[in-house]
Every structure is written in structure tokens, then in C-alpha cells.
Amino acid sequence: MTDSPLLDVQGISKTFQVPKGPNGNDRLRALDRIDLTLRQGETLGLVGESGCGKSTLARTLMLLERPDQGTVRFGGVDPFALRKSELLRWRRRVQMVFQDPYASLNPRLTAAQIIAEPWHTHRDLFRTSRERAARVRELLHLVGLRPSDADRYPQEFSGGQRQRIGIARALALGPDVVICDEPVSALDLSVQAQVLNLLNELQQALSVSYLFISHDLSVVRHVADRVAVMYLGRIVETGTTDEVFENPRHPYTKALLSAAPTLRRADRERKQKILLKGELPSPLDPPSGCRFRTRCWQATELCANTPPPPTADPTTPGHTAECHHPLDTRVSAAR
Amino acid sequence: MTAIGMEVSGLTVELTTPRGTTRAVDGVSFTAHRGRTLALLGESGCGKSMTAQAIVGLLEPIASVTAGSVQVDGEDLLKVSRKRRRQLAGPTLSIVFQDALTALNPVLKVGTQLAEPYRIHQRMPAKRARAKAIELMRHVGIPEPESRVDSYPHQFSGGMRQRLLIAMAVALSPKVLIADEPTTALDVTVQAQILALLAQLRKEHDMAVVLITHDLAVVAEEADTVAVMYSGRIVETGPVDEVFEDPRHPYTRGLLDSVPVETERGADLSSIPGAPPDLFAIPPGCPYQARCPLVQDVCRAERPALETRAGRAVACHLAEGTAQ
Amino acid sequence: MTLLENPPEAPAPEAPDRPARANWFRMLLADPAAFVSALILLLVAFVAVFGRQLAGDSAIKGDLSLSRLAPFSLDHGWQYVLGGDLLGRSLLGRLMVATQTTMSVVVPVVLISLVIGASVGMWAGYHRGRRETVAMRIADVILSFPSLLMAVVVLYIFSPSIASIIAILAITRIPVYLRTARAESAELQTRLFVDAARTFGTPSGAIIRRHIFPIVLPTLLTVATVDFCYVMLAESSLSFLGIGVQPPDVSWGLMVAQGRDQLRTQWWLSVLPGLAIVITTVSANLLASWVRIATDPGQRWRLTVPRRRRRAAGPTVLETT
């Protein structure tokens, strides 16, 4: 792991034009000045509930959406300023694994055709079809499929196997960063563990970085080195996984963690469930000041008037939360 | 022991498809007690949803119940006439589906839909039924029910729609409530709200709740008893705490070990190799044999029966061996 | 969890041996209706090419003694097995000649409108936005004219030749394909596998070719077989008005139209060419639905399962999403 970030996102915002909402607003701010960094070989977990903008962020990083403002830099290069051939080279370095292994594979192509698909665009990677076939076999092996699986169609595979094909396709261009958008949420538990293990092995073998998007906190806790928590288009808390999970400073993070059901009785007895009041506000009409204040149990007038600045934890500087009244669980736990 | 709400015994559902006939649910038996939650736990394709569909009589045309009984209030739901079944649906037994958007009629106002149980079963006049609907909405925690009673389902968020569905299900305070993956489509914070609501209603109405889910943590938090299903059969059942503390079936153990807790970051999660057997090619013997780490010859030859010992039941030849 | 989700977890039926994956002929044999249809269409194609030579003089030179000869008798040679027309020409011979004319109008019309309509439609549906709006408005404009009326006007102005009939009919049929292709393409371009292709930097043309066209094609073929019939009738209407195929040349539609007056007395004059239209269209339709199944890897197994078992199974459950 090196210190200079591989992927550096600074202040990107994305607004969508949508049909008018109840208050007459038709501009949905899906991303609001997002900052994040990803270092080589690192896994950054991105946590948030549906509608918080995490998928838009993934799509923006894959250049499927163009941000209204802010910069994305990958190895110091801004992909939105690149021209055709350079852009293709950029694409090789950032690839994506999709959520739904049923919808993300074209049902009319065989596994081998799907895995080899990127090479139709990136023709210079392999000169001969024999090289390609050999590489497909390697990739199949890498993700734990049999060579005989090459000529089968997606619907002949189970969900876990399909996701392996999706992973092989993402690796076909030899990326440095793989954006995993809920890669295991469509899978059964026993299969989910297989795929998580595979992603882990691949990271160690290829030293790729993952941006791991998930709503499942236990999965994120298992795979991520650092975590970013999103709420209504903003990243409200970031820090190392242990820091964020053990000492959440943003009330939303704490509520999210407490809401997740846990298997172990000991954990259950220790933690107190925080049932958030109300619903996620409409992103068309986000609350003034702090976005979380409408559901926060310690909101004050300050929260309604002023957007909270990111404040770092004095003891662990890498751990920041956007909150006027950050929690200090260590103090309360000691009491 | 609390009163029995529903007793399912030997329930068998056969599927007829182009590939032949197979048992999707094979001799499933369980008892749901009033005021308690029984969880049917299993992965996709294990037959847990089909069990629910068979109980409420909503099987798809290719599936049919070939054996078993479902006793509620001294009546066998599988034997009663269609008319009687319709009378029982609501006051005796009701179901909450996973997908609230498709379970609600998109072109009817929610108030109309919520009033329906009262209109049909109690022949309540429209005005009173509407008042009841508003009361119901308030009870399940929908804010401003007076103004929202005339909204359409799409105007509600996912969590609110699930509340509406639950409201409809408990309108006539049924004795048994089947909840088929009620929170799978929801976010964690909303899931927590919905599960809390279900628990509250269970106490109020003294319902027997059958919670169908794939989520072990939800089972651990919400259920009193768990029945683990695999390949159409119950492989292990007992009080949740005991089963999760000391799983006796290798499949239950494998599932519990697959949950990413306690494991170090970067360390391998233990996983169950392979995938469940094809429904149309279930091997003789134990259905779990191909994935079981403890498999022996007897597992390939003989199908293990569900044997009960002290409130726990396991379908495994090697149950003793795994118990310690 | 529903029924539909179960099968994918299990290997699909053909998984163990996967027979006859690309054996089109065997798949065709597995569906007798499609097989017969294919044979009929081959025959039609053959007649369309060689019909004029085979029919010889009997189609042109009438023998008035055989006028209004009833069909189904071999007394006057094989040419007269389907009877004779008012001028004593062989009906079979006329049908064979008409096959060529009909096909030389209908096939180019369907092909041209299919190719143009599908390409523009897929392009418009894929890109959405302004391109879609412009394409759809143009289609609406074409559709808003009654297509026959437009043909009549144009053909009165220009001389009625085969080429101008083809051109005008093709233009009026383009919107049919354009709308179908656009609708499907607009839906497909939101699919995740198309997004995946975009993340590799695949150009839009290649995405349309690889991911959209193969899925839209079976639908388009079905539309085309229906349209096949429509174009035949449109051509006969034009011919009937005297601005289509010019006598002594003849087409199926023209034969139906000409025999109309004798329907009570000499029914075969219009019924037999009508039958030719129906049989050809139905065959094309059956074959199109076979193509739909055979080109879909998720459905293909149906053509490898013995027919009896398929029937017994009733409703289908192994539909893949």
C-alpha cells in the first residue's frame, strides 16, 4: 500500500433533471461534493441506504455519468479530459462488477464470449485468437470455473457462478481498480462467502483496489480497510473500518449500525437499538443545514441553519464526521 | 406452553414441469404457537416460500399439495372448501408478501384497499370501514393517515408500503400471520422499524407468526423457534438460541460459519462448497451429501429422518457426532 | 423467492451433455410445424425463381375452350390441374408466374423497410434524446398519411413500375419496424449488460450490433411476417386500382382481385391465389416463431426435449429473465 492515492475524487456533484416533485423542484442532487481517495491494494467500503447516491457515484467513476463539478483523478489523470485512445487506456485500469449477476450478463452470449467481450474494443491487447482463448481459460481458472464452462450460457450457471463470470469479465482488461457494486447482495449466504473469499484472493494475487459498495454492514466490515458512509448524496463519515464500526461519530452511522440485526446474542445485549424516526427525506427536497437533522435525536437549531463541517476525531485524524455534535462513544462507554 | 396457532404436518408439494415431477416441499412439519415467532430459514430454492404458498393456498398452477395437513383452529386448511378458505383468510390466517409494490393494487387508493377486509368479512358500511382503515394506518405508524388514506400505493415509500401491507394482514387480527421475506427489499434502518412493528403486533393480537427469511441475523433477533430448510426438507429445528449456539446439522453449522462476523479482515470466510442440488436430480440419501464435510457412506445410501431429542430435531445420520 | 427463481440455481436441462447446441437442422426437425413451413417456403422460393419457365406458354396463351375449367382434374395436362381462368389460361401457370411478381415486390419491400426501420429504430432507441424524438416524429408523419392513399398519389404522378411500387410501399412500412426496434432498444439500453459493455469503452455501434440487434431480431422477424401479408394485400389493392402490377403481368393479390366477380360461379379463381397468400404467410409466421426459440439460448432446450413431454408439461416455468 502506497500513500499517494490511486484514485482521487474531489468535490464531485451530480444533479439529475427529474419530473417535478411535491415542492416543485425538479433537480435531484444525487451527489453533493463527494471527496474520496483509494490507495493501491486497498478496499474502501461505501455504505448507505438505497437512494443515498452510492450507485450514481459508481456510475460516475465508470464514466457512465458526467459530474457537474469536481474532479476525478486516476494516477493524476482526469478521465473526462481524455481523448479517445487515452480514454480507452483509462478504462482498462478501472473496471466494475455489477450487482445483479442475472441482468449484467447478456443471456445470448457464452461465458467465454462474455469474458472476452472487452477485447473487442481493446483489440491491441491480444494479437491472435489463440492468445485470447488461452487468456479466457486463465481467467476462468482464476475465478474458480472449469474450462468446460467456457461454452455455456449464463442461464446454465448458478447465481454464484454467474457472479464469477462477471468478476472474470471485470478482470479481463487487467484493471487496477475494481468497483464492486453490491457484488454479493443477490447471492445466498453460503455462496456469498465463496464470492467474498474469491474477491479477497484476487486482491492479494493481483493487488487491485476495490471500491466496495454494499448495504450489508457485516460484509463491509469483513472486506473493507476503510469505510465511507453516505446519506442523501453526502459522505457523512469516513475512517478506518474498525474506527467507524467501533466508535461511530456520526449519529446516522450509529443508527445504521444499531439497526443491523446481529447473530450473536452478546452483541445484541450490548447494543441498544436506535429506531430512527421517520423516513429518508426526499432527495428533491433535502433538509436545510445538516441533512440528517430531521431524523436525528440530538439535532439543535444550529443543525437546521448551518451545514456541519467535516470534523476530525482529535485522537484519530483519519476519522472524520460531518456533524455539529459528533458522538464520542468511548467516553460514554467508559462512564 | 402457549396455545397452538397452527400445526403443519407432513406437507408435501409436487412440481410438474417440462423436466418431470419433483418434490419441492417434502414432508414439512412444524407447529407455530400463539404469541411466538417461528422462523423458516433457508436459501433460495429450498422450498420455504412454497411452503407458505401451500399453506395460504396460493400455489402456482404447476405446483400441487400431494400430502399433509395444516391445522388451524381445528380445521384442516388443505381440506376445506374454497368458500370456507376465503372466509378463513383474514380472520384466521393472513400473509405479508416481500414485494409490497406488486402486492398492492396500483390503481386503488390505499384506504379502499385497507377497508376491504372489513367490507368483505364484516360487511361494514363504507364510512365506518374507512374510519377503521385510518385507524389501522395510524396503528402501523403511517403519519397523517387522514390525508394519506386517499393516496395511491406508488405515493408511499418502500417501508410505508410494507406497513400498509402489514396493516391489511392484521386488520382482522388473525391467529396466524405468515410473513414471507417481509423486509428483504428494505434498507436496514427501515427493516428494523418493520420488524419492531411486527413484534409489537404479534404481542397485541397474540398471533402465531411464521417468519420466512434467508437472513440468519433476523432469525436470531426476531424468532423464538427456527426450522432450517434445505432442498425441500426441514433439516434442523429447535429454539433459536440453542440451534444457533450449538448447531447439530452440518448445513446449519455451515450457514452460521458463512456469516462474516468475528472473522479477521482479509481472512477467508468459511463457506459451503458447491450449490444446492438440482431439484430434479436430488441424490438418494441425504440431500446435503455433496456439500457436507462429514459425509460418510451411510449418508449416500439412506435418507436421514428428522429425529427429535429434547426439543431439538435434526435430520442427520451423524447428529451425535456433531453435537459435542 | 418465486418459482421462477428456482431453476437458475440448478443447472439448466441441457447442462450435462448439452446436445445439438448448434445443430440447426436437428432443431428444425424437432418442430414439425416449422419444418413443414420451411419446406413450403423453399418451394415458394423455387417457384419464384423458376416458375415462369416451368409454366411455359399455358400461363400466357389462353385456350378459350378451356375457359372456366374447374380444378382438380388431370384431363388437360398438369398445367390445368387447378383449372383455367376466363381466357382459358392455366391457373396453376398463372399462379407460378404470379409468385415471381409477388415475391419480387413483397420481399424487397419487407427487406428494405426492415433494414432501414430497424437500423434507425435501434439507433434512436439506444441514444434516446433528440435523435429519438426526430426519428419518431418522422415515423409519425409517415404513419399519419393513409399509406395506400399516399401510394396512389405517388404512383399516379410517377409511372407505375415495379421499382416505384417497391419504393413507395417500403417507405410507408418503415415506421412499423422503426417503432418496434426503438421500443425494444430503448428498454435494452437500460439493461445492466449494456452498461457493462459501456464500461469497457465499447462504441455505441458495436453495442447495438452485439447486444441489441440479436435480441431485437426475433421480434422484428415476427413483425415482418405479419407485414409480409399486409404488403401483399397492399400490392393487390394498387394493382386492382390499375396503378400496381400491370396486366398481362400478374400477382397473387391481382388474381384475387380479378377473380372476385366470379366468386359465386368460379370460386377457384380467387380462392386458390388467396390460399397461396395464406399458406405462405402462415409458414413464414411459424418459421419466425421457431427462429425466436432457436436463437434464444434460454429457450433452445425446448427444441431438444421430446415433443410429447413438452405438451404434457403445460405452462412453462423455465423462462429465464
CATH number at B77 reads 3.40.50.300
Say if residue B220 is in the same domain as residue B77.
Answer: yes
At B269, list the grid cell. 470466510
pLDDT above 70 (res A100): yes
Question: Nearest CB to B278: which of C2, C3, C10?
Answer: C10
pLDDT of residue C306: 54
B87 plus B75 within the same structural domain: yes
Chains A and C: how many Cβ contacts under 8 Å?
88
Q: Is there a domain that residue A219 lies in?
A: no
Answer with the one of B137, B157, B173 that is the final residue of a domain.
B173
The answer to whether residue A126 neighbours chain C at the CB level (below 8 Å) is no
| pLDDT score at C4 | 34
Partner-chain residue, chosen from C3, C309, C313, that has the shortest CB–CB distance to B60: C3
CA-based nearest residue to B162, from B201, B126, B125, B124 = B201
A69-74 sheet: strands from edge to edge = A27-38, A7-17, A69-74
Does B221 contact A223 at a Cβ distance shorter than 8 Å? no
ipTM confidence score: 0.83
Range of the domain at A275: 249-335
pLDDT band at C318 (very low <50, low <70, confident <90, very high): very low
Q: Which residues contact C198 (CB under 8 A, 6 or more apart)?
A: A62, A64, C207
Residue C140 burial (C-beta neighbours within 10 Å; 0-12, 13-18, 19+): exposed
Mean of the pLDDT values across residues B109-124? 89
Chain A interface, best mutation among B219, B269, B270, by max A CB count within 10 A: B269
> Domain total for chain A?
1
Angle at C151 (CA atoms; ends C148, C154), nearest 5 degrees = 150
Ranges of beta strands (E only) in A152-286 are 177-181, 209-214, 226-231, 234-240
Contact B107, B153 (CB under 8 A): no
Report which of residues B274 and A130 the model is more confident about. Answer: A130
On whether residue B98 sits in a domain, the answer given is no
Nearest to B258 among A190, A200, A261 (CB): A190
Closest by Cβ to B278, choosing from C1, C11, C310: C11
pLDDT, mean of residues A185-189 = 86
Question: How far is Cα B296 from Cα B284, in angstroms, rounded to an integer?
Answer: 13
Q: Which of B153, B173, B193 is the last residue of a domain?
A: B173
- Asked if residue B76 belongs to a domain, the reply is yes
- Give the whole-angstrom CA distance, residue A14 versus residue B210: 44
Closest chain A C-alpha to C183 CA, distance in angstroms = 18
Question: CB distance A98–C18 less than 8 Å?
Answer: no
Q: Give the helix ranges, DSSP H, for chain B.
A: 48-56, 82-88, 100-103, 110-121, 126-139, 145-148, 158-170, 188-205, 216-222, 240-245, 250-258, 297-301, 319-323
Chain-chain contact of A275 with B261 (C-beta, under 8 angstroms)? no
User: Is residue B204 located within the same domain as residue B270?
Assistant: yes
- In a 10 Å sphere around its CB, with 0-12 CB exposed, 13-18 middle and 19+ buried, how is residue A132 labelled? middle
Q: Looking at the domain assignment, is residue A190 inside a domain?
A: no
Residues B201 and B158 in one domain: no
Q: Does the pLDDT of residue A208 top 90, yes or no?
A: yes
Widest distance between CA atoms in chain C: 76
Chain B positions touching chain C (beta carbons under 8 Å)? 15-19, 24, 44-45, 48-50, 60-63, 98, 181, 275-281
A59 touches chain B (CB under 8 A): no
Cβ-based contacts of C11 with chain B (< 8 Å):
278
Place of cell 418522422: C138
Q: Answer whether A194 sits within 8 Å of B273, measured CB to CB.
A: yes
Average pLDDT over every residue of C47-59: 79
User: Which of B265, B279, B292 to mutate to test binding with chain A, by most A CBs within 10 Å of its CB?
Assistant: B265
Residue B193 domain boundaries: 4-92+174-323
Put simply, whether C5 touches B (Cβ < 8 Å) is: yes
CA C296 distance to own-chain centroid: 20
Topology of domain C100-281, CATH: MetI-like fold (1.10.3720)
- Cell triple for B236: 434442523
In chain C, what residues touch A106 (CB-CB under 8 Å)? Answer: 193, 210-211
What does the domain layout of chain C look like in residue ranges?
100-281
Domain count, chain B: 2
Q: Same domain for B168 and B311? A: no
Identify the residue whose cell numbers are 448447531.
Answer: B247
What percent of chain A stands above pLDDT 90? 41
Choose the closest CB to A107 out of C18, C198, C297. Answer: C297
* Selected residue of A155, A182, A194, A211 to mutate for chain C interface (largest C Cβ count, 10 A): A155
**What is the arithmetic mean of pLDDT over A271-277?**
78
Res B320: pLDDT: 62
Q: How far is A81 from chain B (nearest CA, A)?
A: 36
Q: What is the pLDDT of residue A137?
A: 93
**Chain C residue nearest residue B279, CA to CA:** C10
Interface contact flag, C6 B45, Cβ < 8 Å:
yes
Residue of chain A with shortest Cα separation from B160: A279
Q: Are residues B155 and B188 in the same domain?
A: no
Residue C15: the pLDDT is: 39
Residue A173: pLDDT band with limits 50, 70, 90: very high
Neighbours of chain B (3+ CB pairs under 8 A): A, C
Residue of C nearest to A83 (CA): C201
Q: With CB atoms and an 8 Å threshold, state whether A256 touches B216.
A: no
Nearest C-alpha neighbor of C108 from the set C180, C38, C173: C173
Same domain, B281 and B162: no
Last residue of a domain, one of B128, B152, B173: B173
Chain B interface test: which of A1, A263, A275, A277 (most B C-beta within 10 Å): A263
B154 within some domain: yes
Residue C251 has pLDDT above 90, yes or no: no
The distance of Cα C53 from the centroid of its chain, to the nearest Å, equals 25
Residue B57 has pLDDT above 80, yes or no: yes
Instruction: Give the residue from chain B lying closest to A277, CA to CA.
Output: B193
What pLDDT is attached to residue A3?
Answer: 61
pLDDT at B249 over 70: yes
Cα atoms in the Cβ-side hemisphere of radius 13 Å centred on A24 = 0
- B192 and B205 in one domain? yes
Is the pLDDT at C317 greater than 60? The verdict is no
